[in-house]
Amino acid sequence: MEIKKYPEDFQVEEVLDIKKGKYTVFKVKKINRDTIDVIHELARKTGIPFGKFGYAGLKDRHAVTIQSFSVDRIFQDNIKSLELKDVELYDFSEGQKLDIGDLIGNNFNILVRDLHQNSEQTIRSNIHEIEKYSGFPNLFGEQRFGGNEEVGLNLLKGDFKAAVEKLLLKDNLDKELADLIKDGKYGQALETYPKLRNERQILEYLSKSSEYSKSFVVLPPSTSSLFVHAYQAKIFNEAVVERIKEVPLNEVEIGDLVSMEKGGNYYRTQVNKANIIRVKEGINTGSINVIAPLIGYSSLVPKSLLGKISVELLEKDGITKESFRVREAPFLGSNGAYRNILGRYKDLSYKIEEEGVRFKFFLYKGEYATVFLKYLTSSLS
């Protein structure tokens, strides 16, 4: 399966509920451009501080993406007159300041290449299977990992030197440069290290200090938090995959944790004999969801198979809930979060084309199109 041979193969547009407000909100269509990179260019060309721009989420670089930015209304004219390479700014209106998490979801239009011939029957069968369970396993996509989970594991174990080396020692480094890093000669390594901003910042810090536990503090919080989050995502994925071998995806066990929405707020509760029938009814209607923890030091772990598997996976790695405090570097710690184990979708359609199969669908925020496509095309790639 190939989904990003060309940026035009992967098209995504945000769906937002923009409320009234005193900010200028505008759409940004990008081709092969990164969200943060575009904001940096907007800031550089207008003099508007980077932090004045609001956005609801990050978008893939190698794609055609449409998302919304917000900015103080006084800057509207500065923005409207700009021209950026492979970027179109349009649909200026008034609304609230956008923040991470304001997203409802995304509409996708994706061409999948390199599938076997006679794929339609298999796609239909896969769709039938997904419909049977009212959704698909809500796993994190591969882009969440890339070795970050191994850096995170070392941080949680308190082995900060190993975490640094895992981050810095890329597969494409020549032996001489790799040996400098292994020998702790960070100042020399910095002279020839590739132009990777985060890694170079850590190298620069370590060239002046030997405190490995504090080296990650030079990174932006949104970056330094990625490593432990990636490890949490790994445990989540593995626990969900193991659980659905024993319990159907859309079923619930006593001891599971579920979330339900009331008046725009979400509540967690544990399934017991008294509420299990009501919970099952809510799962069938989509108003209640089984959740699994992205385990942190404050997490409530389900008293069910899902929780048992999660704890066993942590123990196998030598990790406990307390490990997530990262006492030597608390800024890297995590108190945990929760995530639906069932991914839900809307408006799914597909069309067989000469180059492959084109899928169109809507996914809610936090769900990965690459994961959904894997289940749609399983056994075809």
Give 244's DSSP letter: T
Amino acid making up residue 162: A
Active site residue 60: yes
CA 84 from chain center: how many Å?
27
In degrees and rounded to multiples of 5, residue 95 shows phi and psi of -175, -170
SS3 at position 340 = strand
* Helix 160-168 with 175-182: angle, nearest 10 deg: 170
Calpha distance 64→87 (Å, rounded): 10
Q: Which amino acid is at 208?
A: K
Helices 120-132 and 369-376: angle between axes, nearest 10 degrees: 110
| Distance separating alpha carbons of residues 250 and 232, to the nearest angstrom | 22
How many CB atoms within 10 Å of residue 174? 8
Number of H helices, E strands in the chain: 13, 14
Cβ burial of 316 (10 Å; 0-12, 13-18, 19+) is exposed
Q: Single out the catalytic residue among 9, 17, 37, 60.
A: 60
18: exposed, middle or buried (Cβ count in 10 Å: 0-12, 13-18, 19+): middle
Give exposure, 39-61, as e/b (b: 16+ Cβ within 10 Å): beebbeebebeeebbbbbbebbb
Q: Which tokens belong to 266?
A: 């979400």
Which residues are identified as catalytic? 60
